[in-house]
A and B are shown apart, each in its own frame.
Chain A
Amino acid sequence: MYGKGIIKGMGVTLKRFIDTYVDDLKRGKKRYHTAEGIAYRSSAEVSGAFTIQYPEEKALLPEEFRFIPFLVYDVEPDGTKKDRCTACGICAKVCPPQCIWIVRATDPQTGKPSPVSVDFYVDVDICMNCGLCAEFCPFDSIKMDHDYEIAVYDRMKYNIYDKEKLSKSASYYASIRPVNYAREEKARAEAEAAKAARKKAV
């Protein structure tokens, strides 16, 4: 019969149309605005309305998600902030569009370079979110952030991030990347233990 293909096809769309309501009725109130609802709608079993209603619901971001970089500082027991960055410059060298500028400090007495950065800039209008800076930082001090809500009205004023804007605490880092944080802390503790053991041996 001519038209059979079209009718069968419309059967498919009808089925999906009905599935939308069937699924809503089946899951009821729990389908929207709950964490399990979002998880269900992002999984392979999803059927029915697939929408994740930003801004009331936010899609789950996996740990590896990368957006703009940020600098990690540790908080000492007495409350002072200690930057992990030693101004080694590897991130600036490895950045493909060269959007990182670092000014390394010099020791006022000896005149030699000191492992602290005076200024650290990232031009967010050039950053391509590749993550190479975070991948090659030897001190775990620059990491990729998860914050994507950074739209602005005026790029000249806001889109060059200075050290102040880039610095976030290690506890923030642990909250967005727990598995990576745990692994790095373990490696750091092992390195400390090995160093202490070598000192003792000497």
Chain B
Amino acid sequence: MPEDLNTPGVEIPPELRGTVTLTTIDRIYNWGRRSSVWPVMFGLACCAIEMICTAASRFDFSRFGMEVMRPSPRQADLLLVSGTVTKKMLPQIVRLYNQMAEPRYVVAMGACASGGGPFKEGYNVVPGIDRYLPVDVYIPGCPPTPQALLNGLITLQKKIDNQSIKDLSWYSKTPDNGIPVPVFGPDIIDPRQNALIFDITHRPVDIAVESESAEKTSGEEA
């Protein structure tokens, strides 16, 4: 058992050392989870090729327990969003996230998944998957080299190490209904923004133009 699991801060009497080990639930629970994070076999674009190279023999990520890439989100722990998130693909990604069983993590790999990347100005591109999903780790790069991706996964493992069962959202009393799936309209519609969309599209046109230019300078809007 690794050294740091063995130091819960409680003194073990000398006669029991070597026979009994004490640890905390948090430490062992986190150790179990961080050593076997199973990603969903889900690659969107160029970053997916670097992810495949990370899974291949040179930068093996089975050394971290992650080689079991499951095609089904029900059996996976990690949604590694690798590649540009487009509006057409977005409902599928949100559905996949909703279908994943907890504990689940999301890593935004690459510039496109973090913040839209070089394609941010496109009309079919979502400027970062964190508009819709809660992201745990962002890995910049275009594409991040396999070593950068491994560094990002190690960062995720460090995050898991510092989590505590008491604070985790999936053991809280409030139900998690998942994220509402976006709808294909004249542009992609986030159901959480329905009221805002109605409000802005029903303003009389001249006021809308004035307020939009006001927004550009003040940079504020709900």
Contacts and interface: CB of A to CB of B under 8 A. Distances in A.
A125 B57 contact: no
A126 B116 contact: yes
A54 B111 contact: no
Contact of B138 (A50, A51, A55, A151): A151
A184 B57 CA distance: 38
Given A151-B148, A155-B114, A52 B138 contact: no
Interface residues of A, number: 29
B115 A155 contact: yes
Q: How large is the interface on B (under 10, 10 to 19, 20 to 34, 35 or more residues)?
A: 35 or more
B115 A125 contact: yes
A151 B152 contact: yes
Per DSSP, chain A at the interface is loop
Given A50-B58, A59-B147, A128 B115 contact: no
Given A54-B147, A58-B147, A153-B159, A124 B140 contact: yes
B173 interface: no
Interface in A115-149: 123-129, 148-149
Contacts of B114: 125, 155, 159
B132 interface: no
15 contacts: A51-B60, A51-B63, A52-B58, A125-B111, A126-B117, A127-B140, A148-B145, A148-B148, A149-B151, A153-B136, A153-B137, A155-B115, A155-B130, A155-B138, A159-B138
Interface of B: 57-60, 63, 108, 111, 114-121, 128, 130, 135-142, 144-148, 150-152, 154-155, 159
